[in-house]
């Protein structure tokens, strides 16, 4: 399959890995938008969150648990962090393999741009 994040998960394309287990892979965003900007992806290819099935509920929970762990590891859990999951064009989704953005290390604005 011609999916960039599948290829990163398979290590056919290099990335700065920060976490991996049987179900989830996490790596540094190539264009960080904050001092901490990590992408958490399921190893299973799911193109948008709209495609997630009931059977993916545990997997999606694992993505959030991974983000929690990484926020604690990076020492930003207490200060705060933002988790973003874009869906489809107007949100700005560019890679059609779901990913949670973990953003932290600076004050975040609201409403988001
Ligand atoms: P989206 O806009 O789809 O929510 O987020 C895609 C993210 O993937 C962007 O923040 C972008 O910087 C990141 N990205 C795109 N290509 C690569 C790549 O080849 N390697 C890494 N590490 N990040 C990428
Ligand atoms: Zn994929």
pLDDT per position as a tens digit, 7-25: 999 999 999 999 999 999 9
Residue 28 alpha carbon, nearest atom of ligand 1: 22
- Let me know if 99 is a catalytic residue: yes
State the Cα–Cα distance between residues 33 and 30, nearest whole angstrom.
Answer: 9
Relative to the alpha carbon of 5, which ligand is closest? 2
Strand-by-strand arrangement of the 24-28 sheet = 17-20, 24-28, 36-42, 100-104, 81-84
- Ligand 1: which of 39, 49, 90 to mutate, most ligand atoms within 8 Å of CB? 39
Q: Are 17 and 26 a contacting pair, CB within 8 Å?
A: yes
CA of 7 to the centre of ligand 1 (A): 13
pTM (2 decimals)? 0.98
State the Cα–Cα distance between residues 85 and 98, nearest whole angstrom.
Answer: 7
Give residue-wise pLDDT tens across range 56-108. 999 999 999 999 999 999 999 999 999 999 999 999 999 999 999 999 999 99
Q: What residues have CB less than 8 Å from 84, skipping those under 6 apart?
A: 100, 101, 103, 112
């Amino acid at each position: 399959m011609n999916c960039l994040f599948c290829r990163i998960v398979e290590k056919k394309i290099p990335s700065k890995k920060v976490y991996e287990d049987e179900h989830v892979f996490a790596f540094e965003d190539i264009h960080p938008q904050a001092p901490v900007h990590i992408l958490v992806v399921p190893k299973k290819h799911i193109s948008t969150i709209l495609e997630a099935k009931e059977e993916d509920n545990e997997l999606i929970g694992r993505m959030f648990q991974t983000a929690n762990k990484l926020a604690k590891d990076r020492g930003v859990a207490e200060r705060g962090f933002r988790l973003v999951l874009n869906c489809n064009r107007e949100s700005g989704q560019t890679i059609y393999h779901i990913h949670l953005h973990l953003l932290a290390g600076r004050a975040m604005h609201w409403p988001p741009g």
